[in-house]
């Protein structure tokens, strides 16, 4: 199975060398790694180019984009730019430039795909440095396939229509994969170092966009409030709850284009309620 990896990178000179070293050091290397320099103003392109000069399977391309950071959309646009230049693949990976992979990452993920023909998406788990120790980054359940380190089977990627251009893309893809009867899996033995914790530099606007994303996934107000409460609890930020709900309510009035159609939305709501009820039963 051919593996193609795309890394969108914007001003990542601080973390990029450690990240690429972990790709080079893999027991089973990807067949292709495309780093998309997304309008960086630092040394990102030069660092990546030095690796490409030493390793033929690493490519570096430059993508011109707006300087304005558009949460979700900017990274997906850069990813799609890289995807349009990818060679043939069986597994396509979207990775961030601030992660350090264990040496057996792709070997283990490949084994999962080869042993389960229904597997559509797979990843390890992200860990952050806290008080001198690498601990699980607790902003999502351990069963959630995280955006910075995930691989898709080509069949699944095509069925879900690729990545949605907006914040929430790395949640709706998991839900749509299950809608199309693919399985998703996290390998809890694969501990990936996340050098820059998620949420670093989150603005009020970005938090409100989380609420808009819930609207685009057709959550409904009750589910949206529960999801906002969960995010606020995991992030230990009460304001996150109110900003997320506000973003959802604003979307109800502004009616941005949805990520999913009514049938997909109905499946998503049913799946989410089943998960909530299952957790409640397990705690009783």
**CATH number reported for the structural domain that contains residue 131 in this entry:** 3.90.550.10
Binned at pLDDT 50, 70 and 90, residue 191 comes out as very high
Answer yes or no: is 273 within a domain. Answer: yes
Q: Assign 39 to helix, strand or coil.
A: coil
For the chain, percent of residues with pLDDT exceeding 70: 95
CB 2 within 8 A of CB 88: yes
Same-domain check for residues 210 and 148: no
Same-domain check for residues 186 and 230: no
Answer yes or no: is 199 within a domain. Answer: no
Same-domain check for residues 189 and 267: no
How far, CA to CA in Å, does 187 sit from each of 125, 145, 190?
Answer: 7, 9, 6
pTM higher than 0.85:
yes
Same-domain check for residues 173 and 217: no
Of 159, 175, 194, the residue at which a domain comes to its end is 194
Which residue reads 């033929």 in tokens?
Answer: 56
How many CA within 13 A on the CB side of residue 223?
A: 20
Same-domain check for residues 168 and 236: no
Same-domain check for residues 183 and 241: no
Same-domain check for residues 180 and 272: no
Residue 284 has pLDDT above 80, yes or no: no
Query: How much is the pLDDT for 206?
Result: 79
Number of domains the chain contains: 2
Answer yes or no: is 75 within a domain. Answer: yes
Q: What is the span of the domain harbouring residue 276? A: 204-283
Of 194, 219, 247, the residue at which a domain comes to its end is 194
Answer yes or no: is 180 within a domain. Answer: yes
Residue in 48, 260, 278, 59 with CA at minimum distance from that of residue 173:
260
pLDDT in tens, 229-248: 988 887 788 888 999 999 99
State the Cα–Cα distance between residues 218 and 137, nearest whole angstrom.
Answer: 27
State the Cα–Cα distance between residues 78 and 29, nearest whole angstrom.
Answer: 23
Of 164, 194, 224, the residue at which a domain comes to its end is 194
């Amino acid at each position: 199975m051919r593996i193609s990896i795309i890394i969108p990178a914007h001003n990542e000179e601080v973390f990029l060398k450690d990240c690429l070293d972990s790709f080079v050091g893999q027991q089973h290397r990807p067949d292709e790694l495309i780093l998309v320099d997304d309008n960086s103003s630092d040394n990102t392109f030069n660092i990546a180019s030095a690796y490409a000069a030493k390793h033929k399977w690493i490519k570096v391309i430059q993508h011109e984009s707006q300087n304005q950071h558009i949460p979700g959309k900017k990274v997906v646009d850069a990813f799609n730019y890289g995807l349009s230049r990818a060679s043939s693949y069986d597994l396509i990976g979207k990775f961030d430039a601030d992660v350090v992979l264990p040496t057996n990452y792709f070997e283990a993920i490949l084994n999962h795909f080869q042993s389960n023909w229904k597997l559509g998406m797979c990843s390890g788990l992200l860990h952050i440095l806290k008080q001198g120790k690498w601990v699980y980054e607790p902003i999502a359940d351990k069963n959630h396939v995280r955006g910075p380190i995930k691989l898709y089977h080509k069949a699944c990627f095509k069925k879900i229509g690729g990545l949605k251009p907006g914040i929430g893309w790395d949640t709706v893809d998991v839900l749509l994969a299950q809608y199309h009867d693919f399985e998703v899996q996290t390998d809890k033995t694969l501990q990936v170092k996340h050098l820059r914790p998620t949420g670093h530099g989150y603005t009020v606007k970005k938090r409100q966009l989380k609420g808009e994303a819930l609207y685009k996934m057709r959550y409904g107000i009750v589910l949206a409030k529960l999801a906002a409460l969960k995010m606020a609890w995991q992030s230990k930020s009460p304001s996150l709850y109110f900003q997320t709900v506000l973003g959802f309510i604003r979307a109800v009035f502004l009616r941005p284009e949805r990520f999913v159609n009514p049938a997909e939305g109905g499946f998503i709501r049913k799946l989410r309620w089943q998960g909530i009820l299952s957790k409640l039963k397990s705690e009783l």
